[in-house]
A and B are shown apart, each in its own frame.
Chain A
């Protein structure tokens, strides 16, 4: 129930949002600074954006990241949706609770542990069956899919659980076979969750440093890995420029998706 906010709450909220946004705003502002020193304003310049576009290592890693994120998000949506359907619609099956815990566990597991575990698996597998040969986009994609499907499962599960069961029953009653019910009724109705799940997975994958560092091989560095190695040695305005581009893209993407989902509200 909306009520008036007390001055105390109002102050808390203003400070809270300032805390969230001031760092991001400084990133953006100083990306247009002509000085190499990030913290001293010397004048407006877009030179860092230009140099960004000439940085081959960065561009190559960005391409790797985009490939991985697209693949991982797609697989995560497929696997996560299947897992959610199994959890919500198959009723009680043996090991349901174990399965439920397993699907959400990657969400809370510290990434260093997951990354280490996956690397050891890949090394072991390669020794035993010769697959996966070396490490690269494939292994990063597998790692990211595993992490992201946990998020997708939770999103889709929530959506499925609040879906009116009688819609599926009505379709069955009108002569649609189970697979047809799923494709004609269930899937379109959970599609908002699938879209947001895909976007979330895409961003998570694009953003991940730790898992990728463990399971990436030589020559398959992702964008966060390159950024990380560069900012380890201090601040660079070029990274600010990159941050600005990413933030702008994400803001546009999120608002666009939000607008799309809002418009298609049932």
Chain B
């Protein structure tokens, strides 16, 4: 997951208690004949953000998006866009446009007519329509394809036209429903960056739905992880990855090692957990505010776990085991190490040397250790 340095939202308005949210979703629920698809979600998105809704299929993220578009009406709650209550406004009367997963290009219209469709619904002069269609197609580098029919376009080209069509009306908010799901892997990665570049250029607020965590991490300023209609955590990609607030979020984003244990100390600057599973005392450098003796999980990402053949100096956060398996991924290798408790711990190491010169191999006894500030305590 290579992250490009982004200059987009330098201000981080969500950090500023006085900042006014641009899109505000207030306790929104939706049930379909008794099945609760979205369960009292509250969310604020700021102007110019690229916000992602992330979750497995059926978690309610698409329903939430469709309520923002006006294609579904919330059963409860309010939706504000730029301070205006749009909860009951129909889709055709909202300053919001959507890019559909299937792209939904009208098959009986060529590219230009597709892009012009939205503008024609407003009272805009023909010359201005032509101008804006041209601009929009130029923005997505499709200006020479105006006369093509949708079925003559490749998947990537369709995606660009769909983007142009939804941006041409200059919406206050652009919704993207799995915009890259229909593309193959290589094209997807390339398009991710293009989409971000275009978003920066036009300055429109984007809300994207995706089930692909990597996509959400690379593209978004912030993301919200959803599960069973509920919003589980909202934060920057970094916050979500480094400080998941729950078992669910920790598991959903990347892989993680978890040790069960009992809280022995809970101070303002650290917490100490005794864990038989880990085979050592786990020292975490943040407090958790839980009673002594309660059961918690301590989590550590595989790339934060270090491996050595000789014992480290630290006694806490340090254990040992036998290398059971090594997954070679080219740039890194994943070591599966079995502890005395039978627990398998994953540790990712960059392949700094060639395979043959690797110091650790199958059935070696190794020491695993990590820094206290890299582990976290999960309560739920």
| A touches B (Cβ under 8 A) | yes
Q: Which residues of A come within 8 Å of B, CB atoms?
A: 164, 166-167, 169-177, 180, 184-185, 188-189, 266
Residue-wise interface mask of B (35-78) relative to A, using a CB-CB cutoff of 8 A (1 in contact, 0 not): 00000000000000000000000000000000001110000000
B104 within 8 A of A: yes
Report B65 CB to chain A, min CB distance, Å.
11
Complex Cα spacing A261 to B201, Å = 43
A169-B100, A175-B169 known, 14 other contacts, Cβ within 8 Å? A164-B104, A169-B71, A171-B106, A172-B70, A173-B70, A174-B92, A174-B117, A175-B92, A175-B93, A175-B118, A175-B121, A176-B117, A180-B121, A266-B108
Report B46 CB to chain A, min CB distance, Å.
23
B317 within 8 A of A: no
B331 within 8 A of A: no
Question: Looking across the interface, which residue of chain A has its beta carbon closest to that of B175?
Answer: A173
Count residues on chain B whose CB falls below 8 Å from chain A CBs: 25
Complex Cα spacing A180 to B90, Å = 14
**Residue from B70, B107, B169 with most neighbouring chain A CB atoms (10 Å):** B107
Given A176-B117, A177-B92, A266-B151, are A170 and B104 neighbors across the interface (CB < 8 Å)?
yes
Report A94 CB to chain B, min CB distance, Å.
15
Return chain B residues, CB-CB under 8 Å to A176: 92, 117, 121
Assess the B90–A174 pair: CB atoms within 8 A.
no
Complex Cα spacing A169 to B70, Å = 10
Report A125 CB to chain B, min CB distance, Å.
42
Given A185-B106, A189-B108, A266-B108, are A170 and B100 neighbors across the interface (CB < 8 Å)?
yes
Q: Which residues of B come within 8 Å of A, CB atoms?
A: 69-71, 90-93, 96-98, 100-102, 104, 106-108, 117-118, 121-122, 151, 165-166, 169
Return chain A residues, CB-CB under 8 Å to B106: 167, 170-171, 185
Assess the B102–A169 pair: CB atoms within 8 A.
no
Complex Cα spacing A177 to B165, Å = 17
Assess the B91–A173 pair: CB atoms within 8 A.
yes
Return chain A residues, CB-CB under 8 Å to B151: 266
**Residue from B104, B118, B121 with most neighbouring chain A CB atoms (10 Å):** B104
Report A242 CB to chain B, min CB distance, Å.
40
- 22 sampled A-B residue pairs with Cβ under 8 A: A166-B101, A166-B102, A167-B107, A169-B100, A170-B100, A170-B104, A170-B106, A172-B71, A173-B69, A173-B71, A173-B96, A173-B97, A174-B117, A174-B118, A174-B165, A174-B166, A175-B93, A175-B121, A184-B117, A185-B106, A189-B107, A266-B108
Complex Cα spacing A195 to B169, Å = 35
Assess the A167–B90 pair: CB atoms within 8 A.
no
Assess the A173–B98 pair: CB atoms within 8 A.
yes
Given A174-B169, A175-B118, are A167 and B104 neighbors across the interface (CB < 8 Å)?
yes
Return chain A residues, CB-CB under 8 Å to B102: 164, 166
Return chain A residues, CB-CB under 8 Å to B166: 173-174
Report B192 CB to chain A, min CB distance, Å.
22
Return chain B residues, CB-CB under 8 Å to A185: 106
